Amino acid sequence: MSLLAIEDVTVRLGGRTLLDHADLAVAPGQRIGLVGRNGAGKSTLLKAIAGEIAVDGGAIRLAARARLGRVVQEAPSGPASLVATVLAADTERLELLAEAERADPRHLAEIHERLRAIGADAAPARAASILAGLGFDAAAQARPLDAFSGGWRMRVALAAALFAAADLLLLDEPTNHLDLEATMWLESWLARFPGAALVVSHDRGLLDRAVEGIAHLDGGKLSLTPGGYDAFERIRTERAAQQNRAAERVAAERARITAFVERFRAKASKARQAQARLKALARLPVIETVVEAAPTRFAFPEPVALAPPILVLDRVAVGYGGAPVLRGLSMTLDMEDRIALLGANGNGKSTLAKLLAGQLAPLSGEMRRASRLRVGYFAQHQEEALDLADTPLGHMARALPRATGTQCRGQLARFGLDAERAETRVGDLSGGEKARLLLALATREAPHLLILDEPTNHLDIDAREALVKALAEFEGAVLLITHDPHLVELVADRLLLVADGTARPYDGDLDDYRALVGERARAEPRAEAPTRRDQRRERAVARAASAPLRRQARQAEARIASLSEERSAIETKLADAGLYVPGRAAEVSAMNARLAALGKELAAAEADWLFAEEALTEAEA
């Protein structure tokens, strides 16, 4: 039985058909990666599943009572703490706790049973664990949302979606706001997630380690391939080759039959055979040759060679407002260097990048730069500075005031921004196209040192591969900050770990670093104080909710004692032989009637007491 069924679905937006009679089934517990080129309609499909947009044909069916979890599109805000925000994502738990405070005593046992079933007591600890995995320590978890930037608040939105214990989790590029450490944590979390998940991602590592099937959206159709992304790519290549070979065989057979018919059609002795060949020709299947989309290509301008070293740091400290973030920085850069920075967000990776880019001056120590050194700096936050009303060509013309229009167009074309896109409003470009524009702007002067701070956000897998190839051909130095392990493994030949207020060489590879991150996570103490406090609050709520039951039990017990005492007194009187004398018959009859009524009242009181005691036992178990 399917948890989610997408049946013959068609969706059109802005005159484009994004989904064309598409089909896909997701079973309970199945984790599927959703891939496709930028603009193929992946995010649109998630919106259709969530009910945010209507389909133009077909149907999307979610199993009855299935809970859907999804990261909100806007960063959450407000005065609530991070833990409180994440806990609020489980609406069923909140509703049950609120209902327990006002419920009829006879329904409390049922409410508490459901609270136990959904693990309500462990919810604060689970929320704290998810937040810790995404980079929030115990102190940060207690701070209000409004104290964090938009990127960090989007992490909280992701934490809330993961916490909600959904039957089906919809994630759209979940690693975009994560560092490498949090990405590694998310991979392992998704691999253990018991529910189903549909994950839109261009992160090959995530798609290889956290899902068990790849749904490819291409030409409006969905096709499902078992395994991770590497398996999908291999199978897709094999299928395309097989289809092309089959198309070639059919084309050769069609040509052979056609040649026979054309040669012998006019000969009476061969007319019957020619007619038979024509029928055979009509029966040949139509097999289209697979036409691959034009590959994405990037090309960095080649810098003029400089004598080494191009940049030297000698015991440098750097920071903001006179307060150092990093100290004791000593390193030498040559044009052949390919360096990736490791370390959790907030440790100073971007600070080091700004120092090398010349955007921050050393607080102490010495930094020596080659006299003709040019640095290209790409940072994802630069997207916010783009003029949405202008075009890529306008941006490039301002950045290169001495360049001709042809030269500006040529630089944009290096990153796949053709003539049409060069004159499209930036506000109408996709996220991937904006990233390409930023790469084109960062490299416009043929830099000797290229600093890339999260360059792959919004780039699809083909564009990421194009970036890898372009960096391999680039003749200058590269400093890379990224959450994409695949990019690090293919580009970097040196790793620097930014931690504990400095940057130092890391001798292992990414597998070693992944193991190190796991060891640190296991060694770190749990957020015990908030968890215990939350547990005490949960127990207090439970005690308050069960107070009516305890009151009912006490009242029933007192009623039983009172009725038993009255019954015992009547029975003593009825045992007195002096009662049975002439003139007291009515009194005897009244006492017997009362005795019978007391039996019924006692039975009712005992039933009330028994119900209350059993309910209390279940609620407090």
C-alpha span between 409 and 393 (Å, rounded): 7
Q: Say how many Å lie between the first and final Cα of the chain, rounded.
A: 35
More confident site: 109 or 620 = 109
- Of 156, 185, 71, 154, which Cα lies nearest the Cα of 380? 154
Quick check: 540 pLDDT over 70? no
C-alpha span between 526 and 127 (Å, rounded): 12
More confident site: 80 or 121 = 80
Helices 392-399, 431-442: crossing angle, 10 deg rounding: 20
Q: Are strands 57-62 and 4-13 parallel, antiparallel or unpaired?
A: antiparallel
Q: CB of 397 within 8 A of CB of 408?
A: yes
Q: CB of 137 within 8 A of CB of 528?
A: no
Task: Calculate the alpha carbon distances from 264 to 250, 279, 601 in Å.
Answer: 21, 15, 109
Arithmetic mean of pLDDT over the chain: 84
Give the pLDDT score at 243: 65
Question: Using omega within 30 degrees of 0 as the cis cutoff, is the peptide bond preceding 174 cis?
Answer: no
Mean pLDDT calculated for residue range 174-201: 88
What is the per-residue burial (b if ≥16 Cβ within 10 Å, else e) of 127-166?
A: bbbbbbbbbbebebbeeebeebeeebbbbbbbbbbbbbbb
Residues 6+ apart with CB under 8 A from 411: 301, 396, 400, 403, 440, 443, 444
C-alpha span between 347 and 182 (Å, rounded): 13
Could you tell me the pLDDT band of residue 550, with boundaries at 50, 70 and 90? Answer: confident
Q: CB of 87 within 8 A of CB of 95?
A: no
Could you tell me the pLDDT band of residue 531, with boundaries at 50, 70 and 90? Answer: very low
Quick check: 392 pLDDT over 60? yes
Give the pLDDT score at 524: 53
Residue type, 398: R
Least reliable range by pLDDT among 13-22, 290-299, 345-354, 434-443: 290-299
Structure tokens at 617: 């036992």
Tokens 């907030």 locate to: 346
Give the pLDDT score at 527: 41
Quick check: 476 pLDDT over 90? yes
Quick check: 615 pLDDT over 90? no
What confidence tens digit (pLDDT) does each residue in 148-160 have?
877 788 889 999 9
Give the pLDDT score at 549: 65
Tokens 């994630």 locate to: 171
Quick check: 620 pLDDT over 60? no
Could you tell me the pLDDT band of residue 308, with boundaries at 50, 70 and 90? Answer: very high
Structure tokens at 404: 């001709």
Give the pLDDT score at 292: 47
C-alpha span between 206 and 215 (Å, rounded): 14
C-alpha span between 498 and 351 (Å, rounded): 10
- Of 217, 300, 256, 227, which Cα lies nearest the Cα of 22? 217
- Of 492, 436, 444, 443, which Cα lies nearest the Cα of 464? 436
C-alpha span between 135 and 137 (Å, rounded): 7
50 — alpha (psi -120 to 50), left (phi > 0) or beta?
alpha
Q: Where are the beta strands (DSSP E) in 271-401?
A: 311-320, 323-333, 338-342, 364-369, 375-379
Could you tell me the pLDDT band of residue 96, with boundaries at 50, 70 and 90? Answer: confident
Mean pLDDT calculated for residue range 467-486: 91
* Class of domain 311-523 as given by CATH: alpha beta
What confidence tens digit (pLDDT) does each residue in 269-295 have?
555 666 666 666 676 666 554 444 556
Residue type, 234: R
Quick check: 494 pLDDT over 60? yes
CA dihedral 608, 609, 615, 618 (to 10 degrees): -150
Highest mean pLDDT out of 230-234, 255-259, 311-315: 311-315
pTM above 0.75, yes or no: no
Determine the length of the chain. 621
Give the pLDDT score at 266: 58
Mean pLDDT calculated for residue range 461-483: 91
What confidence tens digit (pLDDT) does each residue in 26-62 have?
999 999 999 988 778 898 999 999 999 999 999 999 9
What is the per-residue burial (b if ≥16 Cβ within 10 Å, else e) of 378-408?
A: bbbebeeebeeeebbbbbbbeeeeeeeeeeb
H or E element at residue 572: helix 528-574
Task: Calculate the alpha carbon distances from 575 to 48, 579, 605 in Å.
Answer: 81, 8, 26
Least reliable range by pLDDT among 296-305, 364-373, 374-383, 520-529: 520-529
Mean pLDDT calculated for residue range 515-540: 55
Q: CB of 308 within 8 A of CB of 335?
A: yes
Grouping H, G, I as helix, E, B as strand and the rest as coil, residue 61 is strand
What confidence tens digit (pLDDT) does each residue in 568-612 have?
888 888 888 778 778 888 888 888 888 888 888 888 887 777 767
C-alpha span between 149 and 483 (Å, rounded): 18
Give the pLDDT score at 528: 40
Structure tokens at 542: 């439970």
Highest mean pLDDT out of 167-181, 324-338, 531-545: 324-338
Mean pLDDT calculated for residue range 355-377: 94
More confident site: 91 or 256 = 91
What confidence tens digit (pLDDT) does each residue in 121-146 have?
788 888 998 998 888 888 899 999 88
- Of 602, 606, 609, which Cα lies nearest the Cα of 565? 602
- Percentage of the residues of the chain whose pLDDT score is greater than 90: 37
Give the pLDDT score at 345: 80
Burial classification of residue 92, based on how many CB atoms lie within 10 Å of its CB (0-12 exposed, 13-18 middle, 19 or more buried): middle
Mean pLDDT calculated for residue range 350-370: 94
Give the pLDDT score at 523: 59
